[in-house]
Amino acid sequence: MTMPVEHSWNVRLSARNDRRWFSFNAVATTYVAAILDFAVLFFAIAGGYMLYEQVFLGMDGDWSRYAGIGLLVATVFVLALGGADAYRPAGLLSFRRQMAIICTFLPAVVAFLLAIVFFLKIGPMVSRGAILSAAVLSFGALTTLRLAWYSYLNRAVAHASFPTRRVLLICPDSTPVEPLIHKAALGGLSIKHTMHLRGADDTPSLLQDRLQKNGITDVDEVLIVWGDYANAAALEECLSALREFCVPVSVMFSGLVGDIAQGFAQDIGESRAFQIHRPPLGLVERIVKRLFDICFSIAALTVTLPLCALVALAIKADSSGPVFFMQCRKGHNGKPFRILKFRSMTVMEDSGDIRQATRNDPRVTRVGAFIRSTSIDELPQFWNVLRGEMSVVGPRPHALAHDDLYGTLIAQYASRRHVKPGLTGWAQINGHRGETPTVDRMADRVRHDIWYINNWSLWLDLRIVVMTAIGLQDRSNVY
């Protein structure tokens, strides 16, 4: 179950508006963060150019040129981060994610600026030293601003000063309330009262009395969290009783209905349908993703060639057997291919009975333990990417035996093959790297893979690549 993010809530719909004027809510935080980024980047870019050309070179430059470059970079950067939802309070609270986004988008924006300089043939007007000094100042300023936001939002949530709308939470007895409180705070909500629905036996008048006793007259909004679909009559009676009160009411579903409701909505006449499976990538999207895969894999194979040679020698010296390990996997649309890895075990399993590696697994060699924990054993898969069998980013391919097993246990498992499998993916950077000892763990990985397929973009691929590089230091679940 996922808590609705702040853009799902409209402060103008609140029944009350008596909160403190100086207190940030979720919407205000998003806009203020974007405005501050724009201002910081504008002055950092302009200041970097002035610092280099006027202070170091002693040149008297044209201020309008500095201002124009600053406006261009700041506008593109803020729009890009806005599209990546990086200005939401929940996003600002993740300092590591913010730094990964900055390290991805800021060089991309600078590269965009250099492309403009090249195509407009204005290179002599813009010095490389000025660009470098402006980029360094921008990175420092953005990092300082992210530290300030992280400190402020943590204090605000801890002291309950961030939420600006009071909420009555209505849910079945079995719904855990504690996990919702912190998530609600990030969305500008404060759960003041909780009411549990017991069944469909309550009359509307009795429900209205219970709502009064549970503080409905003292809140701004009502949130119903529902997953007891066998008791839909209780929800219907509750909604009927709530119509007597002038307060906004929202319903959030969990389970299967919740997954469906998170899909893209489209109107069909007077009804609404939810798209639960994204259609295959369009022609332009496939071309963009393939070009990215080709360029990235060629660069990776070239850079890592000396390392691969050393690893191959170490494997041959450590144990008998081939350097590479090949295993049959299912790719896009279920098409089989042979995945390439450095051999890290004493066995070469490729049958219907394959065991995932576990902690202190005796099958793992000494060199294998190191290259598995650092993911060096995956480097040969860039050859699979170059051949078009895999992508740099996508759902990780599993052994055929695991596909057959989990395909019968997890309803959405086959949907992972709507795109090419990848070296890394959204699931891997969100804590689902390595062994999946239970069906629940695999189901969590599948949910992340489906989210990636439904939300693919080039920016998302770049973000996952950066987060993967940062997360390689975490070896807790890889053996």
Return mean pLDDT, the chain.
78
Q: What is the pLDDT of residues 417-453, one digit of tens each?
A: 888 999 999 988 888 776 677 888 888 898 899 888 8
Q: Which of 10-19, 23-32, 185-194 holds the top average pLDDT?
A: 185-194
**What pLDDT was estimated at residue 381?**
94
Q: Token digits for 331?
A: 């790719």
Per-position b or e across 28-52, b if 16+ CB within 10 A of its CB: ebbeebbebbbebbbbbbbbbbbbb
What ranges do the domains of the chain cover? 26-158, 163-275, 283-471
Q: Which residues pair with 339 in a beta bridge?
A: 327
Question: How would residue 96 be classed by pLDDT, with cut points 50, 70 and 90?
Answer: confident
Is 199:17 a contact under the CB 8 Å cutoff? no
Q: Does 168 have pLDDT greater than 70?
A: yes
The residue ranking higher by pLDDT, 163 or 23, is 163
DSSP 231-273: GHHHHHHHHHHHTTS-S-EEEEE-HHHHHHHTSEEEEETTEEE
Give whole-number Cα distances, 463 to 37, 290, 459, 473, in Å.
19, 17, 6, 17
CATH class of 163-275: alpha beta
Helix (H, G, I), strand (E, B) or coil at 194: strand
Average pLDDT over residues 261-274: 79
160 or 131, which is more confident?
131
pTM of the model: 0.53
Q: Single out the residue of 80, 97, 9, 1 nearest to residue 429, CA to CA.
A: 97
Contact 297, 382 (CB under 8 A): yes
pLDDT in tens, 293-340: 999 999 999 999 999 999 999 988 888 888 898 888 899 888 999 999
> What band does 366 get if pLDDT is binned at 50, 70 and 90?
confident
To the nearest whole percent, how much of the chain has pLDDT over 70? 78
For β-strands 264-268 and 249-253, DSSP reports them as unpaired
Binned at pLDDT 50, 70 and 90, residue 5 comes out as very low
Helices (H) and strands (E) in the chain, counts: 15, 10
Q: Are strands 221-226 and 264-268 parallel, antiparallel or unpaired?
A: unpaired
Q: Which residue has the higher pLDDT, 51 or 399?
A: 399
Q: How far is CA 233 from CA 199, 201, 271, in A?
A: 8, 9, 22
Between 80 and 264, the more confident residue is 80
Contact 397, 441 (CB under 8 A): no
Instruction: Provide CB contacts within 8 A for 348, sequence distance 6+.
Output: 321, 322, 325
Q: Would you place residue 415 in the very low, low, confident or very high pLDDT band (cuts 50, 70, 90)?
A: confident
State the average pLDDT over residues 108-128. 70
More confident call, 20 vs 290? 290
Look at 368 and 305; give whichever has higher pLDDT.
305
Query: Does residue 14 have a pLDDT over 50?
Result: no
**Closest alpha carbon to 328 in 354, 347, 301, 367:** 354
* Residues 97 and 467: beta-carbon distance below 8 Å: yes
Q: Please give the average per-residue pLDDT across 202-206, as a whole number.
A: 69
E-strand spans in 129-177? 165-172
In degrees rounded to 5, what are phi and psi of residue 327?
-145, 145
Q: Which two tokens stand for residue 144?
A: 């300082």
